[in-house]
Amino acid sequence: MQPIAIGDVMWEPSAEVIERSQLDRFRRRHGLASLAQLQERSVKDSEWYWAALVQDLGLRFDSPYAQVLDLSDGVEWARWFSGARLNIVGSCLDRWLEGPTAARPALIWEGEPGEVRRLTYGELSKEVARFAGALCTLSVEPGDRVGLFLPMVPETAVALLACARIGAIFIPLFSGYGPGAVANRLQDGEAKVLLCADGFYRRGQVVAMKETADAAVAESPSVEHVVVLRRVGREVPWQEGRDHDWQRLVAAAEPVWENLSLAPDSPLMVIYTSGTTGRAKGALHVHAGFPLKAAQDMAHGLDVNEGETVFWFTDIGWMMGPWLILGSLLLGATMVLYEGTPDTPEPDRLWRMVADHSINILGVSPTLVRSLMGQGDEYPARHELGSLRVLAGTGEPWNPEPFQWFFKHVGGGRCPIVNLTGGTEIAGGILAGNVVSQLRPCSFAGPLPGMAADVVDAEGRSVRGEVGELVIRQPWPGMTQGFWRDRQRYLDTYWSRWPGVWVHGDWAYVAEDGLWYVLGRSDDTIKVAGKRLGPAEVESVLVADPAVAEAAAVGIPDELKGESLACFVVLRSDQDPSADLQERLRRRVAEALGKPLKPAILEFVSELPKTRNAKILRRVVRAVYLDQPPGDLGSLENPSALQAIAATRG
């Protein structure tokens, strides 16, 4: 497998940018000569780094820890800050109530129809206290699980923090899930309470949620209460005794202002990964883990400063939802939440939000950029985007053309793109860009401090200049504490290949200049006549053609070659499919990657199956094309795309 072609340097930081960055301030504070020296020390002495980061970020403990890292149960079950007591709400909320910061915006929300709400840290604190009291009236106790089946509205952040305050464990659920996907997660987590909305707005239409919740709860005997937020004001079915009106429940409750003091490894959240096959995995995260890792990503990757405004286009059911809420609050920043689609009513919705809310840090998925790029350069050009300082992306590998378009047309050629890769079980990033390193298309500066990442060959030996498996050789605080009630599956998934080594399941590459690249999931790899090929390699070639908006590449069985290459292409709106264009694109891939890798199949489709956060589901593409069971489709945003793929079968 060849890496993505390494492009020219796009951006280099000025001395002023480096000096004012969070990462370089941290380096100077600890007397380290260079970023490389910081990285080296953070891995060789990870206890020093994470203790220093806790102090630097101002994480509040009710009582001090006796030990930074406890490996007595093995590296797979590492425990951090043993002996301490804390509640993460103290660091994310209460610390900002002292003095003028209480009046700083904690949250800006925009609904798809255009409503805007703002909550200061002081106002958010009051809402959290009230809802914590409401949960207590339902007899929610420490350790009880509470499902969050909500759109991205202010009440979602309120509920998350209220659960944390009283020691309950929240289960964030994707707002677009169907009844089966919601029920599976409620059953696995044995949730006591489900929080839902009557509905929300998407593409100008009301999406019903209460009926989905009812169907899921009917299959989930552990659920005793359903609390319903009146988001759209529609009539919904009601079960007396079980269902509660959100506003009425809050109005009748006594506020709870005090945080329950907990051990650092007390469960905070169970968040389910959206695998396409098998039972969803519930990653367990704790009070002193996930929020700290989220804040580290923001501070040492995205360079978020206190008082800045951060927006990541996401959903509460994806890791980036809780990551945005907890990370921004721990840093004293302002989060932006958005309910709807980024191109409704016009393709400039996202860029208008940047201008309207003076957003400083903007995060998206590469697929979303590919989609918005296809709408035209004129849409970002309509708006004053000068507030932007940092751009970011995660979720899948980039292609060079969308990366460069984002940099030029959204960032104006002056904002670095902080590429981030990690996962739900990581609590954030393994590799990241930053604002103190040079930037090439699709690159990462390298591992985040404290992340002992490496690239290894099939025998587990470190390699440079060739593609290998991305691994992590030491624990970190954000590491999941296993899968919910399935310890063995967690060990089998990440720790079974080499002793004491976390195998992440991504192909990665370290270039001569020290920049890192990720080429996609190792289980998405295509192997044609013995040649290993990453989907991103093929897709980058295709989307570089001016006729192509998006592409997905998968491997399909071939009696002679083992696998052959199948490509599914979405054309730009001004292009018409033709046999000539089909052959031109097949030839383009062959010329770029070699004749043996010429696609056996290249089909034009109207859309590709994606998650709500615009991640292409390649394994679903492959399964549907081969007329095989596609697995769990709970995360699928656009079911009509499956019909488009199926229609291309011979």
pLDDT in tens, 456-510: 999 999 999 998 999 999 999 999 999 999 999 999 999 999 999 999 999 899 9
99-251 and 525-646 share one fold: no
- Tell me the backbone φ, ψ of residue 590, rounded to 5 degrees: -60, -40
Q: Give the model's pLDDT for residue 427.
A: 98
pLDDT in tens, 94-103: 999 999 999 9
> 276 pLDDT band (50/70/90 cuts)?
very low
CATH class of 525-646: alpha beta
CA gap 299, 333 in Å, rounded = 11
CA gap 232, 199 in Å, rounded = 6
pLDDT at 594 over 70: yes
- Tell me the backbone φ, ψ of residue 364, rounded to 5 degrees: -145, 175
The answer to whether residues 58 and 95 touch, using CB atoms and an 8 Å cutoff, is yes
**Range 605-612 average pLDDT:** 89
Its pTM stands at 0.88
CATH T-level fold of 99-251: Rossmann fold (3.40.50)
Mean pLDDT of the residues in the chain? 94
pLDDT in tens, 507-560: 899 999 999 999 877 777 787 766 667 788 889 899 999 999 999 999 998 877
pLDDT in tens, 311-353: 999 999 999 999 999 999 999 999 999 999 999 999 999 999 9
CA gap 494, 481 in Å, rounded = 12
Rounded to 10 degrees, the C-alpha dihedral 458/460/466/472 comes to 130
Enter the tokens of residue 408. Answer: 């030029």
Task: Give the homologous superfamily in CATH for domain 15-94+265-520.
Answer: ANL, N-terminal domain (3.40.50.12780)
pLDDT in tens, 62-77: 999 999 999 999 999 9
**Alpha-carbon torsion 151, 156, 157, 161, what sign?**
negative
Looking up tokens 């994310």 gives 92
Q: Give the model's pLDDT for residue 114.
A: 97
**Burial of 384: CB neighbours in 10 Å, binned 0-12, 13-18, 19+:** exposed
| DSSP at 644 | H
Looking up tokens 């890798």 gives 597
CA gap 298, 283 in Å, rounded = 21
CA gap 569, 545 in Å, rounded = 11
Listed by start position, the domains of the chain span: 15-94+265-520, 99-251, 525-646
CA gap 487, 113 in Å, rounded = 44
CA gap 57, 415 in Å, rounded = 24
